[in-house]
Amino acid sequence: MDSGALLDLLGNENRRRILRLLARKPSYVTEISEYIGVSPKAVIDHLRRLEEAGLVESHVDEKRRKYFHIAQNLRLEVRVSPYDFGAKSAYPASADLDLGRCSHLAITTAFDDENDVATLASRLDDLRDLERELSMAQRWVQGRLTEVQTELNQYADGNGSQLTAEVLGALAGDERTIDSLAREVEVPDTLIERVLADLAEQDVVDQTDVGWTITG
């Protein structure tokens, strides 16, 4: 589902409270109504919206009572900084994902083959610790990104610091053509040309036979 549509859907406090309850246990309409303090009719409408979005599903027990439960495992990320705003939804990667390709991370993923209660509980505790560490690392990276973009801002000669920073980041370590820069940064060629011209006047970038590169 589109991240913008998810933000709109989850902007409603009662829907968030419903999901919070369903994350603890499957529940039926009357239970949910009592928990969030709104009418069953309103709960049914919220559940319908959540079902349409694919976040919630239902099943019927032996007493024909309809229970609702969370259907999706996803993460919604929102980024707001002086240089960036965006939202994206991310789904869990396969357990077979090769983390060796992550050159900036060193994560131990080896687990015992045993699946007894004690081993699973210990594994859960380890993964929660890892999640907390990754969250802390992500916050650290976000802070350093803002700092570096602020420093690059001095080269933004009227073009907007974010665009200049993105162009310089794309040029790091390689020569690039205007066309390839425009595709990566997702702006028209004319804007890229203007940024490069301003940077060239400051002796920050050079034009070569192949394309553009950072000076020195």
Q: State the Cα–Cα distance between residues 52 and 71, nearest whole angstrom.
A: 11
Number of CB atoms found within 10 A of residue 45's CB: 14
Instruction: Give yes or no for residue 106 having a pLDDT over 80.
Output: no
pLDDT digits (tens, 9 = 90+) for 154-173: 776 655 557 888 888 889 87
Mind listing the domains of the chain with CATH numbers?
3-70 (1.10.10.10), 96-150 (no CATH), 156-214 (1.10.10.10)
β-pairing, 205-207 vs 84-90, is unpaired
Considering the entire predicted model, what is its pTM? Answer: 0.71
CA distance 106 to 128: 16
Q: What is the DSSP letter of 27?
A: B
pLDDT in tens, 186-209: 889 999 999 999 899 889 999 988
The answer to whether residues 43 and 36 touch, using CB atoms and an 8 Å cutoff, is yes
d(CA 114, CA 92): 23
pLDDT at 52 (0 to 100): 93
